[in-house]
């Protein structure tokens, strides 16, 4: 507790004693039980003071200058999580199996990737998305996350000069029809609210859809794709801008295409490079902390579409710290990459980290965290003293029903 709050607590006790000696309370022990104000103007103090009673005990300090307490906010579910388990129908089936391994935990996120080899597959070839769509529609609170390549031959080592030319072609609208076809297909399948992780890890060198060869054309191309997909009737897509953690080939901030065409700011964050501690992963340039700060500055939720073990092996500390980080930062969703060397269930190479993951996530069901209400002491009847008095006391008072019995002794 900070010094300011300690000073506030002393001030409140002093005010409480002063008010007790100046207003008509009851000559019985009292307790505050939380502020309850109805918004009416404070009433006038009593004309004549009554004899002071015993000291008033505060259950918890409440700032007397604070505005009336608002009604409790509607509860929301805890952040959704899941795992990448496989591309196709087998990945859908394994969601239930992973849930059982986690003691019935509710996996609300299904995550897959469109193949980036041919444009026909990027359009969502028939037979590929049906099982995912069926899974998504079984419960209203599920999320379907779909990684969508921006260019075909996405993992074929295309050179920078050719990539730059392709990005310029896309920025001019040359590939719009492919993304219109994908959007129409998703809407027809009944998953118009799909989370689209478009052109992921664009700050690296792995994919043809990388940003580095021409960042300005890349951003214009992203805008074209989002505008095209949003033009399809019935769509409710959310577009997730997801670089890999760290600087990589280019700073990912140089690739950011603008707030009007981004709904979520994600980050793929594996336990690498070798020897890097979790604190360093937080603090490095373009790392975990900068990601959270950047998203907050742009008023966007965060996500972790890919994360998991890697260069540092079966790293129990990374697993514990990453799960704690996500609990604290409340991403919209996270999905661990569950195959070797990254995974915890399908990969048997990481028993220590797997045990941590299972221990910390077992039984999670998405139940909302509901803050406790004011605690009413037992054997206690609340007194209605008026708004003015309760404002300075920091809450209501209540009278113990057994006050006449005198002090209790153990």
Over the stretch 314-342, which tens digit does the pLDDT of each residue have? 999 999 999 999 999 999 999 999 999 99
Q: Please report the pLDDT score of residue 38 as a whole number.
A: 28
* Token representation of residue 231: 């033009």
Using one digit for the tens of pLDDT, what is the confidence trace for 88-101?
999 999 999 999 99
Among 319, 318, 312, 309, which residue's Cα sits nearest to residue 342?
Answer: 309
Q: What percent of the chain has pLDDT over 90?
A: 69
pLDDT digits (tens, 9 = 90+) for 20-53: 333 333 333 333 333 222 233 333 333 333 334 4
Closest CA to 223 of 259, 257, 196: 257
Q: Give the residues across from 240 on adjacent strands.
A: 197, 264
What is the three-class DSSP state of 112? strand
> Per-residue pLDDT tens for 111-127?
999 999 999 999 998 99
The answer for residues whose C-beta is within 8 angstroms of residue 325's C-beta and 6 or more apart is: 278, 282, 288
Q: Nearest-CA neighbor of 79 among 372, 319, 368?
A: 368
Question: What's the rounded Cα separation, in Å, for the pair 118 and 125?
Answer: 10
**Tens digits of per-residue pLDDT, 182-211?**
999 999 999 999 999 999 999 999 999 999
Q: In the chain, where are the structural domains located?
A: 3-69+372-405, 80-361
Please name the residue that has the structure tokens 């959704």.
80
pLDDT at 389: 53
d(CA 342, CA 402): 63
Closest CA to 37 of 401, 377, 374: 374
CA separation for the pair 163, 356 (Å, rounded)? 42
Choose among 394, 395, 385, 396: nearest CA to 64. 394
Supply 198's token pair: 């478009």
Does CATH place domain 80-361 in 3.20.20.80? Answer: yes
pLDDT at 68: 39
Pairing, β 302-308 against β 264-266? parallel
Question: Is 262 within 8 Å of 239 (Cβ atoms)?
Answer: yes
Q: What is the mean pLDDT of residues 387-403?
A: 54
Which one, of 105, 77, 78, 82, lies nearest residue 304 by Cα? 82
Structure tokens at 78: 């805890």
- Mean per-residue pLDDT, 11-17: 31
Residue 61: the pLDDT is 36
pLDDT in tens, 127-161: 999 999 999 999 999 999 999 999 999 999 999 99
- In angstroms, the CA 108 to CA 113 distance is 17
């Amino acid at each position: 507790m900070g010094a300011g709050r300690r000073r506030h607590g002393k001030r409140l006790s002093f005010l409480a004693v002063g008010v007790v000696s100046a207003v008509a309370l009851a000559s019985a022990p009292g307790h505050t039980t939380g502020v309850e104000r109805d918004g009416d103007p404070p009433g006038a103090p009593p004309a004549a003071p009554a004899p002071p009673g015993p000291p008033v005990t505060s259950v918890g300090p409440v700032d007397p200058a604070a505005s009336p307490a608002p009604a409790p906010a509607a509860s929301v579910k805890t952040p959704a999580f899941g795992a990448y388990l496989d591309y196709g129908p087998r990945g859908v089936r394994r969601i239930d199996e992973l849930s059982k391994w986690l003691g019935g935990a509710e996996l609300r996120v299904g995550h897959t990737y469109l193949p980036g080899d041919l444009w026909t597959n990027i359009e969502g070839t028939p037979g590929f998305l049906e099982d995912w769509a069926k899974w998504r529609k079984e419960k209203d609170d599920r999320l379907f996350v779909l990684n969508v390549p921006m260019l075909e031959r996405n993992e074929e080592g295309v050179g920078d000069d050719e990539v730059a030319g392709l990005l310029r072609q896309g920025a001019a609208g040359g590939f719009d029809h492919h993304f219109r076809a994908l959007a129409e297909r998703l809407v027809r399948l009944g998953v118009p609210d799909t989370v689209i992780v478009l052109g992921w890890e664009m700050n690296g060198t792995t994919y043809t859809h990388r940003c580095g060869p021409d960042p300005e054309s890349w951003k214009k191309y992203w805008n074209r794709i989002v505008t095209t997909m949003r033009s399809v009737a019935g769509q409710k897509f959310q577009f997730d801008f997801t670089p890999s953690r760290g600087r990589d080939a280019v700073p990912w901030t140089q690739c950011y295409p603008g707030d009007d065409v981004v709904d979520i700011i994600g980050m793929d964050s594996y336990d690498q490079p070798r020897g890097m501690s979790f604190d360093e992963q937080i603090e490095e340039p373009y790392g975990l902390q900068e990601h959270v700060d950047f998203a907050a500055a742009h008023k966007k939720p965060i996500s972790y579409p890919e994360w998991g073990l890697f260069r540092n092996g079966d790293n129990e500390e990374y697993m514990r710290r990453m799960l704690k980080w996500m609990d604290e930062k409340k991403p919209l969703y996270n999905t661990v990459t569950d195959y070797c060397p990254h995974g915890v269930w399908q990969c048997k190479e990481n028993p220590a980290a797997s045990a941590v993951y299972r221990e910390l996530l077992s039984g999670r069901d998405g139940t909302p965290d509901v803050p406790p209400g004011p605690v009413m002491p037992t054997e206690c009847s609340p007194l209605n003293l008026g708004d003015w008095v309760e404002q300075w006391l920091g809450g209501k008072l209540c009278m113990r029903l057994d006050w006449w019995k005198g002090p209790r002794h153990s």
